[in-house]
Structure 1
Amino acid sequence: MRAVAMYGTLASLGSLVLTALVAAPAGSAESPALPALLTPPASAEARGTALAAKRAAAAGIAFGKCPAAEGLSSPAQCGKVKVPLDYAAPDGRQISLTVSRGKADGKGAGGKGAGGKGAGGKGAGGKGAKGKAVARQGALVFNPGGPGASGMYFPMVASMPEWKRISAAYDLVGYAPRGVGRSAPLSCQAPKDFAKAPTQSPSDPSVAYKRERVAQAKAYASGCARNAGDALRHYTSLNNARDLEVLRAALGQKKLTFMGASYGTYLGALYATLYPGHVRRMVFDSAVNPDPHQIWYRSNLDQSLAFETRWHDFRAWVAKHDKWYHLGKTPDAVLASYEKVRARLAHRPAGGKVGPGELQTAFLRAGYFDDYWALRATALTQYLKGNPKPLIEQAAPKPESAWDDENSNAVYTAVECNDAPWPTDWQVWNHDNTELARRAPFETWDNAWMNLPCAYWSAPRQVPLDVRTEPGALPPTLILAAERDAATPYKGALELQRRLEGSVLVTERNAGTHGIGGGENKCVNGYMETYLLTGRTPVRRAQCAPHPEPNPVSLDERAVARRPAPAV
């Protein structure tokens, strides 16, 4: 399951051996943390990255007006940076990554900082200097996750109150990682075929249905290999981290200030392991578990289990507001209403486009973000009253997004399949997911089908890097996590803190929104803002009270809801 963070307010704009085959851990030549006499010879990829970064630093990035295809308005600027397709052959084929930038205005927001009272006392935000200019601090590079998501929209958050003081100090830099958007785009099947609807989504699939999905997974893997050719093996998380190092150099930054969400936290952790001496500040929002044994098969099993808990949270909230929705006064009663809708859609898809598969995808988004809860509950209520329009509006595939959706899925699949070994015996998948589905039926099989092409992958598999840093190798880094996050379960944040020496964990208690930085919690935002602006952090861990639960809304109020559907 793709773990994509689309922040609360930010989303209104726009998923073994302890060393890697092609990169060495911290202290290696690619990450010089040890004395030279103790450093092993540099790998070809390390030498290629250093050469590419040197060239990028000399060339810089020629920022100018953004192409219409990016959908970004002034003052955002766009440019490109060249990186080697294969870092072991830096003089070989080059690909261009698209980059966006919003320049720091230096004005600040004035007034008080964003900090509020958290569970452990006052938030980290302090008083701002109203009317005074804010010192510029270089570039803040953002990756929204995926893998397969584009961060090109990031400069546009500068207009939001939660980002005002940060955007005054930093150039906000987004980019499309390799394979994504217009950065050497990857495709595995025709977009029109990827967007076919309606589809089924049985939580207890038959033997015949499983055979059908296995055949589809084999065909999809073959399509990736056919379309990308020899280039397919170069779409990896390690190469994404190397690309980030080249981007740092192209931006003229001696050290990187980076914010990663969801999968972006894994990318940031790889970078911190490979290049600890090049890290200035890092924010890890909704952390992926970086344990090599988790990447990526076990991580997806854990995710499916966590979504069952979050699915229950949603149903409990709907039951609490039964006077609005009339879907049931208990979570089980709400589930019965949902299953009634699913059964009807299996027999007669809404609008000819929304079947059980589209229904499940729409409600999975409610597992990511609780500001979908009122929208989804209203859609169920209206459907059962005979009005399918809200459900069709929320769940039907959008033809205009078919290309982006297919591209994003292709990159997700390529990166995760290339990154690590996966079971190649269908019986292993069948056993593990059958057992898990007894405990977590909501998401287990759909997650399995999404990742099953990795069982039939033709490109070489890497061995995940052992993410970890030595004491003193990194400056303080900041981890943000919600306790009930399903897309990146909380234990991943604990594991990341254990592996990154000197990191600090800020927890939003009893909350489950995926991607909390810059969102609705002022306490969380206070810690993030203070860290980015000053480098200060709590001692080791801090807690924030949860943001308020969503309120039930009427259809009229729902029409002005601010969050569009995220890429999940």
Structure 2
Amino acid sequence: MRRAVILGVSVVLAAGALTAAPASAFMPDPVDDPLRAAGVALAADAAAGAGIAFGPCPKDSGMAAPVQCGKVAVPVDYAQPNGRRIELLVSRLRATGPASGRQGALLFNPGGPGAPGLWFPAVGLKSAGPVTRKVWATAARTYDLIGFDARGVGHSAPISCVRPENYFHTPSPDPRTATTAVKNRERAEARTRADGCGRRSGALLAHMTSADMARDMDVIRAALHESRMNYYGVSYGTYLGAVYATLFPRHVRRMVLDSVVDPDPQGVWYGTNLSQDVAFEGRWADWRAWVARYDSVYKLGSTPSRVQASFDLAMRKLAKKPAGGSVGPGELHATAENAAYYDQRWVVFAYQLSRYLHGDDKPLVAAATPDRSGAKDAENGDAVYLAVQCSDAAWPRDWATWDRDNSRLALRHPFETWPNAWMNLPCATWPAPAGEAVDVGALAAELPPVLLTQSERDAATPYEGALELHRRLPGSRLITEVGRGSHGLVSIWNQCLVSRVDRYLTSGSVGDGDVRCAGHPVPVPSGAQGAKDANTGRYY
């Protein structure tokens, strides 16, 4: 797509003229439109002058010393940098290694969109779990670890679509169902949800795109007094990083993108979600095949089709009588989705399903009952998810398109197709205008090498997306975990992969070419009734 190019060092704004930006803010990069590029430069210059007054984190953040927090002011609309502003909360843990080895700040985004990020510096503390400590050991010694709540999230001008006390509706029905009555109900509920987002989230709703969040990251970079940024993004965080690298390629120092979202503008986000549905079916098949191998443990069936029959039986039973009064088919399906995301959860989900079908619903109820104390955060996360996805690019506005595409896909890929459609359907009547997807990689020649990590059978971010971003960033390197499908490889100990990430963070070296790493060990059930993973000795 064609983008306006800034040719000079002075850009005229509605409120006046912008002179050349100081070194602290760098020159605006020429992919963004002129008004917003100029607005970012102004905001970054102001942030560089103000810095961040780090101190104790808010009590409700869960972060305590030595982690510190501080605020950075950003414009709601970068086309009007002197207009309304909001504050983003940023967290920091200083590098634990010697000052001589410090390589700057490492900013992290955990994905979502809508996931809070303040927790990230805690991975550098001794209290972090053993695998987490291993994965982040090099980064914690070498970099100041920087977390933040993106705009609209958590402590950073949070948005909302419904009252949190009305967020959980349990027990919920089977989300795979798509009768005419269900379609009519879901369409009405989606419209109500979209209207609620417009009423409750105000003017910020029109400025919740990934490009807006990338501009915010550049202001944070300036406030940290870093001329170039190091970044680690997971899941949606990879797309946010790719957008940042496109808008600000000269501001990137090192960038690791883990579990890569497909950045093709033609697929953002309607097509991307349809691709997810296909990949989830494959990952659900992986779990069923694994359970069938351990029929002597779980007694859920000796073939994948019999395991599916056991799952369907549980869905029907829960529809008639919800477990614990709160776990219906919808809650069971959500728990199954988690197992499709992470094979670390295969053991525990098989155990919960087995115990339920053999007369003990306590493990399932404990795991699948929504935590109402977290309703506010959960609702906020879903609101941000919709606000970003519905605003980044246009979605079909006519129901006929949704009905046709999802009906066809569900014939062969029923596990996630309609559940995904219902989640995203508010985008069909979204009250804020949709933008135009960023042409990721437009200035790839100006980027340093970027490191991509991806599991081959990831359902949430299918492998094809990593190949697409790899193609768009010619200097990038791709590390593939072969034959596995866990999402977010940062949470998994794979020596082949972690050693290369460590080397990159330490030296900037991406090696001579792409690498295919053997997969981490597949879970092996152990303990009473298969509740524990023999590889780790852990109950998940």
Partner of 1:268: 241
Partner of 2:58: 67
The one-letter code of the counterpart of 1:365 is N
The one-letter code of the counterpart of 2:254 is R
Partner of 1:88: 79
Deviation at 1:27, TM superposition (A): 12
Aligned counterparts of 1:562 and 1:268: Cα–Cα separation in 2: 33
Matches within 5 A, 1:16-415: 18-19=1-2, 43-106=34-97, 135-158=101-124, 159=126, 160-415=133-388
Aligned counterparts of 2:9 and 2:294: Cα–Cα separation in 1: 56
TM-score by length of 1: 0.87
Deviation at 1:25, TM superposition (A): 11
The one-letter code of the counterpart of 1:350 is A
SS in structure 2 at match of 1:502: coil
Deviation at 1:29, TM superposition (A): 9.7
Say if 1:136 and 1:168, in contact at 8 Å, map to a contact too. Answer: yes
Say if 2:31 and 2:246, in contact at 8 Å, map to a contact too. Answer: no
The one-letter code of the counterpart of 2:471 is R
SS in structure 2 at match of 1:472: helix
Aligned counterparts of 1:136 and 1:320: Cα–Cα separation in 2: 48
CA displacement 1:220-242 (0-9 Å, x = unmatched): 00000011223210111110000
Aligned counterparts of 2:174 and 2:196: Cα–Cα separation in 1: 23
CA displacement 1:516-567 (0-9 Å, x = unmatched): 1352211111111110111011223111000000111335964998697xxx
Match of 2:526 among 527, 534, 553: 553
SS in structure 1 at match of 2:186: helix
Matches within 5 A, 1:342-491: 342-470=315-443, 472-491=445-464
Say if 2:287 and 2:346, in contact at 8 Å, map to a contact too. Answer: yes
CA displacement 1:162-183 (0-9 Å, x = unmatched): 2122200001111000000010
Deviation at 1:39, TM superposition (A): 6.4
Task: Call closer, same or farther: CA 1:29–1:311 in 2, change over 3 Å.
Answer: farther
Q: Extract unaligned runs of 5+ from structure 1.
A: 1-17, 108-132
SS in structure 1 at match of 2:452: strand
CA displacement 1:381-426 (0-9 Å, x = unmatched): 1111111010011111101111111000000001110111100011
Same amino acid, percent of matched pairs: 49
Aligned counterparts of 1:287 and 1:223: Cα–Cα separation in 2: 31
Q: Extract unaligned runs of 5+ from structure 2.
A: 12-20, 22-26, 127-132
SS in structure 2 at match of 1:145: coil
Deviation at 1:26, TM superposition (A): 12
Deviation at 1:277, TM superposition (A): 0.7
Deviates more, 1:461-470 or 1:96-105: 461-470
The one-letter code of the counterpart of 1:519 is I
The one-letter code of the counterpart of 2:60 is A
SS in structure 2 at match of 1:517: helix
SS in structure 2 at match of 1:367: helix
Say if 1:178 and 1:240, in contact at 8 Å, map to a contact too. Answer: yes
The one-letter code of the counterpart of 2:50 is A
Say if 1:290 and 1:495, in contact at 8 Å, map to a contact too. Answer: yes
SS in structure 1 at match of 2:331: helix
Say if 2:532 and 2:539, in contact at 8 Å, map to a contact too. Answer: no
The one-letter code of the counterpart of 1:152 is L
SS in structure 2 at match of 1:230: helix
SS in structure 1 at match of 2:157: coil
Say if 2:293 and 2:302, in contact at 8 Å, map to a contact too. Answer: yes
Deviates more, 1:506-515 or 1:465-474: 465-474
Deviates more, 1:513-522 or 1:209-218: 513-522
Partner of 1:123: none
What RMSD in Å do the two structures reach over aligned CA positions?
2.3
Say if 2:444 and 2:472, in contact at 8 Å, map to a contact too. Answer: no
Aligned counterparts of 1:27 and 1:19: Cα–Cα separation in 2: 19
Aligned counterparts of 2:434 and 2:33: Cα–Cα separation in 1: 21
Aligned counterparts of 2:499 and 2:406: Cα–Cα separation in 1: 41
SS in structure 2 at match of 1:210: helix
Runs of 4 or more above 4 Å deviation: 23-30, 38-42, 555-564
Task: Call closer, same or farther: CA 1:43–1:563 in 2, change over 3 Å.
Answer: farther
Say if 1:25 and 1:274, in contact at 8 Å, map to a contact too. Answer: no
TM-score by length of 2: 0.91
Task: Call closer, same or farther: CA 1:471–1:416 in 2, change over 3 Å.
Answer: closer
Say if 1:25 and 1:466, in contact at 8 Å, map to a contact too. Answer: no
Aligned counterparts of 1:24 and 1:236: Cα–Cα separation in 2: 21
CA displacement 1:329-350 (0-9 Å, x = unmatched): 1111111111111100000000
SS in structure 2 at match of 1:197: coil
Aligned counterparts of 1:222 and 1:509: Cα–Cα separation in 2: 44
Instruction: Number of aligned residue pairs: give it.
Output: 515
Partner of 1:13: none
